[in-house]
Amino acid sequence: MIDFMILEQFKLTNKVALVTGGNRGLGQAMAIGLAQAGAFVFITSRSGKADETLAQIRKDGGDGAVIQADFLQDDGRDIVNSVVEKNGRIDILINNAGTIRRGPALEFSEDDWSTVVDVNLNAVWKLSQAAAQKMAAQGGGKIINNASVLGYQGGLTVPSYTATKHAIIGLTRALANEWASQNINVNAIAPGYFKTDMTDSLQTDPNRSEQILARIPAGYWGDPSDLAGTAVYLASNASRYVHGQVVVVDGGWLSR
């Protein structure tokens, strides 16, 4: 028998969240969504600025703060510690920050490979471990990793990005297996093709954009706001029995 009101389970009142790369794109939409649900949201930004995101959060009646972070230089453990020092706890971590380098595999440079692996995978591992240590001590929490439909496919001219997104899905499942008993939910979201800075070169290429749209059953590029509901669900008590899952949000791309 259900002994609670279901919409109450989606509320994040008094929760403290950390969203990496929350100053724009997918991270911005998810940060705003968490704040609308009641969370205090820390946002990492390489520039140390997230004026647009914070303005929208505060306009909606929420609050947040920015932490400057460059995941090629900064240790994720220090970032998590900063959140806990400022607000006493960390309840939600969304590992969203990422980068991409494009080029034929035969010519792909070692620097491009290492940069993508460091930001997309190594930083996620460090942030997740540091956050989980805090969460285990406080009784639980939620970790949400940003994967990709390229965690299921090979793609073209993005070998390091594809490799890291496959790895993120594997890491999500591995950590969920170990940390579920600590009341820590580890899951992932796999976005399809969204209108962001990262996909700008694809959107502005008439031939490639037409090819992509032709495969998406929904018929359009995703808007970052289309991820907010999934993020709130995975961050909330509504998903308390969901562990090690990858929620694909792609307009039907993978079903084709």
Annotated catalytic residue 241: no
186, 145 contact by CB (below 8 A): yes
Four-CA torsion 209, 102, 120, 54, nearest 10 degrees = -50
Token pair in block for residue 45: 């930004």
Q: At what angle do helices 159-179 and 110-117 cross, to 10 degrees?
A: 30
DSSP string, 151-193: GTS--SS-HHHHHHHHHHHHHHHHHHHHHGGGTEEEEEEEE-S
Catalytic residue among 152, 161, 193, 233: 161
Residues 182 and 180: their CA atoms lie apart, in Å, by: 5
Q: Give the residue numbers marked as catalytic.
A: 161
